[in-house]
Amino acid sequence: MSGSDTAPFLSQADDTDDGPVPGTPGLPGSLGNSKSEDPEVPDGEGLQRITGLSAGRSALIVAVLCYINLLNYMDRFTVAGVLPDIEQFFDIGDSSSGLIQTVFISSYMVLAPVFGYLGDRYNRKYLMCGGIAFWSLVTLGSSFIPRERFWLLLLTRGLVGVGEASYSTIAPTLIADLFVADQRSRMLSVFYFAIPVGSGLGYIAGSKVKDVAGDWHWALRVTPGLGVVAVLLLFLVVREPPRGAVERHSDSPPLSPTSWWADLRALARNPSFILSSLGFTAVAFVTGSLALWAPAFLLRSRVVLGETPPCLPGDSCSSSDSLIFGLITCLTGVLGVGLGVEISRRLRRSNPRADPLVCAAGLLGSAPFLFLSLACARGSIVATYIFIFIGETLLSMNWAIVADILLYVVIPTRRSTAEAFQIVLSHLLGDAGSPYLIGLISDRLRRSWPPSFLSEFRALQFSLMLCAFVGALGGAAFLGTAIFIEGDRRRAQLHVQGLLREAGPTDDRIVVPQRGRSTRVPVSSVLI
């Protein structure tokens, strides 16, 4: 049987024997027209003719999507920038603080498959408009919650996941339908620059707005206004391109959506997608933990070193570490994403497995530097910042490359579902639970020691060391991806070009070669 739906999950590396037999047009050794194995890449005029959009309009659409992606991550990490103040205002401990991020990620994770299904079948522009408008209203409402209603803050942070799920599962598929090959990689790198930059701006905006207004609540009122601008830009600028048209041959029929269960079966049997998603899960675990706890850890380190006074009830907590960590996150994100894409692009010319290998190198390289940043925190805050800088740069090399891997090993009519599945997996095993887990371990360790500022520091230090171990596991998953990447990419290309047919679960036909051409006949008609 042909197609990724029938390939076993751990099939032989790059085994494409289930594809078309020799004689199929477009394959090496064909008895028909000889074409390259890779699809022809359309030029600028070709893209404009296929999508109906000029190069300038397509670039403007990417800019709008990038702005909204930046805004999403800015809002997500504004809370982390004022976390000590939130702990003091609601009188909560580390485990309850970790729940703020865990509830949001859990909601985001549950809703992602819903929007993935809708995004593969309905107008993506209007889905994003509705989701972001709802997110803006809920975020604004969360800034007016009284101190005795901490549960209501958790509820509103959970509802924020609606907007992020509606956007994160859909936006990359729009870029995939506007560009191909190296153009797509470059545009994805621009899009994913917004993740670390937006995260860093969240820390900076949260800490500085709090300092200016004298109240942390105002930090949560910045992004809703910018969200209104985002909805207007989406509605006025973005247009819906045809799904998968830029990757098809002109004479191949358009792809039709399959059932949701068929999509899930195909994705579960795509080893490159599964393994790269597991690798990305490790990235999400580490970044989720650092995003929430790094500023608090750095503040406790300074307290232990005697460089800053402790955060006592009734006092405003120091925000300098949130500001510095935000700047580091912005800079390392730009460096890491750009470095990862450029290294991968150059290595791809000589090694088709370059993408997962670069991801593996980034994760495996970041693990020891993150460990050293924690180990050195009691001796030198400067050394801690240097190791964090190197570790986050290596960690950021993965963002755009993982998205590109998904887009070229999954066919266009399944990409939103694949994005949603990856979001569910990476958050379920990654940053949905990692902030709460780190806080829980910290609280348990702290209870076993005499109460002191040193105990608070050491408890959080030891719990964060789990991130280095998880990062190493993620690097191993990307090494596994490199084994299967060539075969899965080729199968997806052939499917889009109409040269590979998927067999459904009830298909009882087999391929019998006849004079250099393949013919499907019922199993019952073949004598064995």
Q: Are 336 and 366 in contact (CB under 8 A)?
A: no
For the CA atoms of 160, 320, 316, 463, the dihedral, rounded to the nearest 10 degrees, stands at 70
Residue 330 lies in a domain: yes
Same domain, 319 and 450: yes
Residue 10 lies in a domain: no
Greater confidence, 5 or 372? 372
Same domain, 228 and 274: no
Residue 253 lies in a domain: no
For the CA atoms of 186, 268, 290, 445, the dihedral, rounded to the nearest 10 degrees, stands at -170
Residue 30 lies in a domain: no
Same domain, 307 and 443: yes
Q: Is the pLDDT of residue 29 over 70?
A: no
Same domain, 488 and 412: yes
Of 50-64, 472-486, 489-503, highest mean pLDDT: 472-486
Q: Is the pLDDT of residue 28 over 50?
A: no
pLDDT of 466 reads 92
For 185, half-sphere exposure in the C-beta direction (CA atoms, 13 angstrom radius) is 19
Question: φ and ψ at 349, to 5 degrees?
Answer: -65, -30
Query: What is the pLDDT averaged over residues 507-514?
Result: 46
Same domain, 238 and 311: no
SS3 sequence of 109-167: HHHHHHHHHHHCCCCHHHHHHHHHHHHHHHHHHHCCCCCCCHHHHHHHHHHHHHHHHHH
Decide which of 244, 277, 304 is a domain's last residue: 244
DSSP letter (8 states) at residue 427? I
Same domain, 286 and 423: yes
Residue 231 and residue 183: Cα distance in Å, rounded? 26
Same domain, 382 and 472: yes
Write 512-520 long-range contacts (CB < 8 A, 24+).
513/21, 513/23, 516/22, 516/23, 516/31, 517/23, 518/20, 518/21, 518/23, 518/24
Q: Which domain holds residue 123?
A: 44-244
Residue 381 and residue 300: Cα distance in Å, rounded? 11
Q: Is the pLDDT of residue 200 over 90?
A: no
Question: pLDDT band at 280, cuts 50/70/90?
Answer: very high
DSSP letter (8 states) at residue 412? G
* Residue type for position 99: L
Decide which of 244, 270, 292 is a domain's last residue: 244
Q: Which residue has the tokens 């991968």?
A: 344
pLDDT tens figures, 421-463: 888 888 788 877 788 888 889 888 888 888 888 888 889 889 9
Query: What is the pLDDT averaged over residues 64-84?
Result: 82
Residue 266 lies in a domain: yes
pTM here?
0.67
Query: What is the pLDDT averaged over residues 75-84?
Result: 78
Same domain, 238 and 267: no
pLDDT of 359 reads 94
pLDDT of 473 reads 94
Q: How far is CA 333 from CA 97, 196, 255, 469, in A?
A: 25, 5, 36, 22
Q: Is the pLDDT of residue 54 over 90?
A: no
Here the CATH number for the domain that contains residue 191 is: 1.20.1250.20
Question: pLDDT band at 527, cuts 50/70/90?
Answer: very low
Greater confidence, 502 or 323? 323
Bridge partners, 509 (sequence order): 522
pLDDT tens figures, 376-417: 888 888 899 999 999 999 998 888 898 889 888 988 888 878
Q: Is the pLDDT of residue 334 over 60?
A: yes
Q: Are 104 and 231 in contact (CB under 8 A)?
A: no
* Residue type for position 414: R
Same domain, 277 and 425: yes
Same domain, 319 and 374: yes
Q: How far is CA 449 from CA 46, 98, 189, 443, 453, in A?
A: 67, 21, 46, 10, 11
CA 399 to chain centre: 6
Decide which of 244, 273, 298 is a domain's last residue: 244
Residue 12 lies in a domain: no
pLDDT of 123 reads 83
Residue 210 lies in a domain: yes
Residue 152 and residue 103: Cα distance in Å, rounded? 12
Residue 13 lies in a domain: no
Same domain, 322 and 187: no
Same domain, 131 and 69: yes
Q: Are 485 and 352 in contact (CB under 8 A)?
A: yes
The number of helices, as runs of H, and strands, as runs of E, in the chain is 19, 2
Please report the beta strands in 297-423, taking only residues with DSSP state E, as ranges in sequence order: none
Longest dimension (CA), the chain: 86
Query: What is the pLDDT averaged over residues 342-356?
Result: 90
Total structural domains within the chain:
2
